[in-house]
Amino acid sequence: MSYRTETDVSRRTYLKLTGGAGAVGLTGVAGCLGDGGDGTTITPGTAPGFPPFEMQEDGELIGFDIELLEAVVGETEYELGEWATFEFDSLIPALTQNEEIDVIAAAMTITEERQETIAFSDPYWESDQAILVRGGGDFQPSGWEDFEGVSVGAQSGTTGADQVQSNLVEPGIVAEDDSRTYGSYVLAVEDLENGNIDAVVVDNPVAETFAANRDVTIAFVEETGEEFGFGLRQGESDFQSALNDGLATVRDDGAYEEITNTWFGQE
């Protein structure tokens, strides 16, 4: 199943509230952030296939992160350039090594390991990890101890993959060969639906979106208390402060709540 098939459902579900708001072009351009604001153009990067945070359809990006970063940067003296897209585990190298992008908006968890390489904005979302299984399937685990003899997938470079490694592979519950990584969670969930793996470990709000649109269900949730932030290069304190100030503004003026309700629905 292609990205388009996945996001057709999400688009009907979410964009009926916005009439198509938040869709942006995917033509990426290389970016190198200047020393200050005053109209400096920044190039944002993301990794599609993580609904409802970032999804791709017909050459466009839609999603919570896309709209939120646009709103945040709109409150600063910086200007947002064209989006560039990568696989998730290529985002940090694109930011730090090649300087193809200036900011990462990809539901990226703030971790000590990542902070050794990049800096983050203030947190903008909290999440736990969920375990997806086939709807109505025989495998319905209630905890990690139930995974013996099964195969499990996650997106490469994510905290979901870290959970698989620390809770299943390292204790010897799941064999290394039965732990599989994917370029996107769309591909992982496709393999789950097709019976090629038995479970997928993914951030809870994304798991809920897949469960609403696919023949999969959440078996249980591992409370990890993760926080997402926008990623940026270390040492760019002016840009970091601008992002934090912009984030505070959209929280205070109601824009954050409006974007959240669009993509996650009202409580």
Residues 66-105 pLDDT 10s: 999 999 999 999 999 999 999 999 999 999 998 999 999 9
Tokens 């993914």 sit at which residue? 202
How, if at all, do strands 41-42 and 79-80 pair?
parallel
Give the rounded distance of the alpha carbon of 52 from its chain centre: 8
Give per-residue pLDDT as tens, 199-232: 999 999 999 999 999 999 999 999 999 999 999 9
β-pairing, 44-46 vs 103-104, is parallel
The 10 Å CB-count burial string (b at 16+, else e) for 112-143 is eebeeebbbbeebbebebbbbbbeebebebee
Q: So what's the pLDDT on residue 234?
A: 97
What residue ranges define each of the domains in the chain, with the CATH number in brackets?
3-124+229-264 (3.40.190.10), 128-225 (3.40.190.10)
The pLDDT of residue 2: 25
Neighbour count for residue 74 (Cβ, 10 Å):
14
Task: Round to whole Å and give the CA distance between 95 and 118.
Answer: 8
Separation CA 160–CA 177 (nearest Å): 17
Provide CB contacts within 8 A for 14, sequence distance 6+: 52, 62, 262, 263
* pLDDT value at 154 more than 80: yes
Helix (H) or strand (E) holding 192: helix 185-193
Q: Which residues contact 98 (CB under 8 A, 6 or more apart)?
A: 30
Q: Quote the pTM value.
A: 0.83
Q: At what angle do helices 237-252 and 64-73 cross, to 10 degrees?
A: 110
pLDDT of residue 129: 97
Q: Given a cut of 80, is residue 23 above it in pLDDT?
A: no
DSSP label of 109: B
pLDDT tens track for 40-54: 999 999 999 999 999
Q: What is the pLDDT of residue 39?
A: 67
* Percent residues over pLDDT 90 in the chain: 81
